Structure 1
């Protein structure tokens, strides 16, 4: 809990940590229960205190697993589905549905599975279920946004009921990372019998909570799986309420209608700390925030010199102090300081004169540039304020800037569909090693990439198969320096996550930002 000693907590947190679609975009959108908006939402003031209401910024795209790469999706469905490999609160691998795993050779991984797990419909969890879910990602007809991360997988082999082998076309040393961060286990028979669209409306997993109701753009209700293999959940009902505007989230929280939400703007911390029924929890997240300099869009930012000029013209130190009140750690490259592959990179620093020189070298005058920044509203701490402050900094050297504010789902869709213009605000995480960020944000076919260069991509794909830890680390060090030189982004900061929490709720924030309700309880 963060009360008055903000700076001490931030420093300690970061030092300890150092030692971001159904059959995409459509499934689950029809045939929802008929009701008045919010009429099915349970009363959070019920005396039993065995339920919880969590506010999130937007609706999930789908309840299907392994389909949409989207934080808002993930935090909800990870209460329905389980992974083979989990992470503890510090982000370290721990057994999940897989009890152990090993690399048999550079092209083969073997996983030993738990033999005491059943799905919500009573069907047994086994190796066939694992094979089905990986094959689901690899099947192009499912349009999984995870596919680009799994292209090195050749075959999934069922050895016996509780042993599965994954064979790859090239060495894939970080397959456990992909397993932990991407793969959730859906019940195969259900998906096969009802089809993807119905399975997106009525999901079945092995998780701590079972699907109950989903009213699009209003709420999702889950009920406890009392036969859960880890034990009976203490909280019996979970409601995720979709509240897009921060002011409405704050109002619902302070009135007791919501018990927990993330991304409290720094200018509202005191409102929560001064409420006797509330508290602020904070953790240094593995999420990074950046300004993408989009070279997929045909415009001046396809010129490296213009991208470098933008880096010189943006004063990140000023943004941190004036907009975020210090709640964040400055980045100079594409990885956060708690990333295992992090290396120190050069800081462009704030140099508006050099920015103007580079723009002129590229054949422009600053006044010639009329650029657009796209930003979500309320998805990241102070996101629209950050966009406005960056625009003001660029206007100091004569660049005209238009700010486009997007609803969160539309913001993601514009990135994936390559509809963004010059620049956009985005966060990414959790990412614990270099591949988790660099492959997913700097290759041509990755859905959230905003920068592509053939030579950079060639180096990325040369680095991925390296098993030797020292050689691999050097390859990712080189990539970080290259991306800074290319000015692929304006790196901003490693996010400090602020949560508003009911004072009676036991909730420990996680580095990976997940709302794992099984770990929560009421005092």
Structure 2
């Protein structure tokens, strides 16, 4: 993130304007390349160009859960497999929707969407891409037997109709104004024949898509290796081999980068930025992310946080400004509600602010002596910038008014599983993104059946369900504005910040970070 807060804010303001215009530690250095030997009898000592690495190695914080598309709502899974599978619709670097496997689309009536598909595209096993492939993948999400965590986001899809090889219609049970966003953010296209022939268990470790890279080898909790698809419909990738190397700890990723073992990693610890910048072959790239970070106050757990007054008290007792300054060195933008300022549907909401006296008063009103209150806070370890440090700092702030907090650090996959299975206790830290529209956040984090929800209230859920089918932009915005204010009043969580992303990048790698955090290797290349 930018080192000066005012520059950081300027970046986000610019990004917001762009979105609004859219409709939808061991030290070391990377070894230098040896000079090319001179021919016998040569008199000039001309320096040779730096050698190009045989493969790009990306340090990644956690392993994918599966190689199947449309199954696991999990950033670390999605980011890796998006190099294997193509979407129908994608977002460009500014968040605008762009055609990929679908070339055009239209809303025929309030319940019918039609898509024209790109011709001449093949899966890497030779299967043709067509309308049947689109139907297969959407049907896969809707089929309860497949246990797709995307299913709750697609519940309004009634049927997929194949009109011809290059035309498909999606029929919904009620108006689904954000279907295009769901397609762009969720849907990836697996090869139907391959998936059916080998079965889901095999396909989960042997994926076939139409993407820029082909699957090579997956070693659980170690690495994912991909090779270039030389027949890719957009042209052969510049980088021929790529490895996602799983390195859970921040410090280990930093050491691997400084030692030249990896070329790229995200979430550079804020206290290590200068080490990267001063290293021989490293640079820092930064971008304002579309990801939000928050502290969930879990109402699915039978504990004191089911009382709104307790949740409100925690909002008053946590000093987000102090966390940003002391833990993240200012690398983030404070949030006051469930959406960030870069979200197209953002509205200004109440800021609880830091008021420990009011926090104590609310706890006593709820019949709780703060000095007797004991809570558990779960956090991932190494998934978000300084995540365990943030958790410990929150615990220290709550201790100021007497609340005892036990911090539990989890491996990322286990952290997500505990949330999905409602095994979390009082509080947990999570991030959400890309978060470009209100529904994408509110429906997925505040409804009873959404896999990562930590808050449920029947009246709030009714408001959400009423808002979802509204097509009129003004009426829809009004409904989601009301929801943002209601969620703040209910203290559904403690909003933290819009994440700022810091990347360590090899100096000879041409890489432009994206607000949606995608590592699309097709967009990268080696340079001088």
CA distance in 2, matches of 1:9, 1:366: 40
2:224 to 210, 217, 220: 220
Q: Work out whether 1:234 is the aligned partner of 2:238.
A: yes
* Matched-pair contact (CA < 8 Å) for 1:44–1:258: no
CA distance in 2, matches of 1:489, 1:453: 13
For the residue of structure 2 that corresponds to 1:392, the secondary structure is: helix
- 1:256-271 matches, within 5 Å, as 256-271=260-275
* Structure 1 vs Structure 2 CA RMSD: 1.4
CA distance in 1, matches of 2:386, 2:93: 26
Residue 14 of structure 1 deviates from its aligned partner by 1.1
2:285 to 257, 276, 281: 281
Q: Work out whether 1:449 is the aligned partner of 2:422.
A: no
Who is 2:125 aligned against? 121
Residue 247 of structure 1 deviates from its aligned partner by 1.1
For the residue of structure 2 that corresponds to 1:201, the secondary structure is: coil
Who is 2:41 aligned against? none
Q: Work out whether 1:373 is the aligned partner of 2:377.
A: yes
Q: Work out whether 1:197 is the aligned partner of 2:177.
A: no
Residue 49 of structure 1 deviates from its aligned partner by 2.5
Q: TM-score scaled by structure 2?
A: 0.93
CA distance in 2, matches of 1:197, 1:343: 44
1:13 to 11, 14, 39: 11
- 1:2-401 matches, within 5 Å, as 6-7=4-5, 9-19=7-17, 47-401=51-405
CA distance in 1, matches of 2:238, 2:13: 33
Off by >3 Å, runs of 4+ in structure 1: 5-9, 43-48
- 1:462-501 matches, within 5 Å, as 462-501=466-505
Residue 276 of structure 1 deviates from its aligned partner by 2.3
* Matched-pair contact (CA < 8 Å) for 1:10–1:283: no
Deviations 1:184-233 (A, max 9, x none): 00000001001001001110000000000001111010000011111110
Change (3 A) 1:464 1:65: same
CA distance in 1, matches of 2:340, 2:81: 26
1:417 to 400, 411, 421: 421
Residue 15 of structure 1 deviates from its aligned partner by 1.8
Who is 2:22 aligned against? none
Structure 1's unaligned 5+ residue stretches are 20-42
What is the aligned length? 498
CA distance in 2, matches of 1:196, 1:123: 17
For the residue of structure 1 that corresponds to 2:137, the secondary structure is: helix
For the residue of structure 1 that corresponds to 2:71, the secondary structure is: coil
Q: TM-score scaled by structure 1?
A: 0.94
Residue 294 of structure 1 deviates from its aligned partner by 0.2
CA distance in 1, matches of 2:371, 2:414: 30
* Matched-pair contact (CA < 8 Å) for 1:283–1:510: yes
* Matched-pair contact (CA < 8 Å) for 2:131–2:164: yes
Q: Which has the larger radius of gyration?
A: 2
* Matched-pair contact (CA < 8 Å) for 1:44–1:52: no
CA distance in 2, matches of 1:239, 1:154: 39
CA distance in 1, matches of 2:419, 2:515: 25
* Matched-pair contact (CA < 8 Å) for 1:202–1:211: yes
For the residue of structure 2 that corresponds to 1:192, the secondary structure is: helix
* Matched-pair contact (CA < 8 Å) for 2:71–2:150: yes
CA distance in 2, matches of 1:482, 1:94: 34
Residue 11 of structure 1 deviates from its aligned partner by 3.1
Structure 2's unaligned 5+ residue stretches are 18-30, 34-49
CA distance in 2, matches of 1:225, 1:9: 40
* Matched-pair contact (CA < 8 Å) for 1:155–1:166: yes
